[in-house]
């Protein structure tokens, strides 16, 4: 087990807490826009557009690395990148309306 990657994962959990607490009641797994609302502009959302997705990318890469599963980290990171490309593109279209 890699304690370095385990420590990084624990830091990512703290970051995820910050992200989700910044979204508050707006956090969900679906893509939709609440009428009359704008994008969240507090917490890590002041710094960049998709901090939750950045966190997920790091988690998917780091969790297998804790256990020295390098191929798993690469394969799942690539698959996640494909999925997030579609999801972020769709989400940006919803917010552009």
DSSP characters for the chain?
--HHHHHHHHHHHHHHHHHHHHHGGG--SS----TT-----SGGGGT-S-HHHHHHHHHHHHHHHHTT-HHHHHHHHHHHHHHHHHHHHHHHHHHH-
Q: What is the pTM of this model?
A: 0.87
Domain ranges of the chain: 3-26+40-96
Q: What is the pLDDT of residue 97?
A: 75
Percent of the chain past pLDDT 70, that is, above it, reads: 100
Poorest-pLDDT segment among 16-20, 34-38, 42-46, 87-91:
34-38
pLDDT for 32-64, tens place per residue? 888 888 889 999 999 998 999 999 999 999 999
């Amino acid at each position: 087990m890699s304690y370095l990657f385990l420590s990084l994962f624990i830091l990512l959990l703290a970051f995820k807490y910050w992200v989700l607490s910044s979204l508050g009641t707006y956090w969900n797994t679906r893509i939709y826009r609440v009428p009359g609302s704008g994008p969240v502009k507090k917490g890590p959302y002041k710094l960049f557009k998709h901090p939750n997705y950045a966190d997920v990318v790091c988690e998917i890469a780091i969790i297998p690395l804790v256990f020295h599963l390098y191929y798993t980290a690469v394969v799942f990171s690539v698959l996640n990148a494909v999925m997030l490309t579609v999801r972020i593109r769709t989400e940006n279209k919803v917010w552009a309306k």
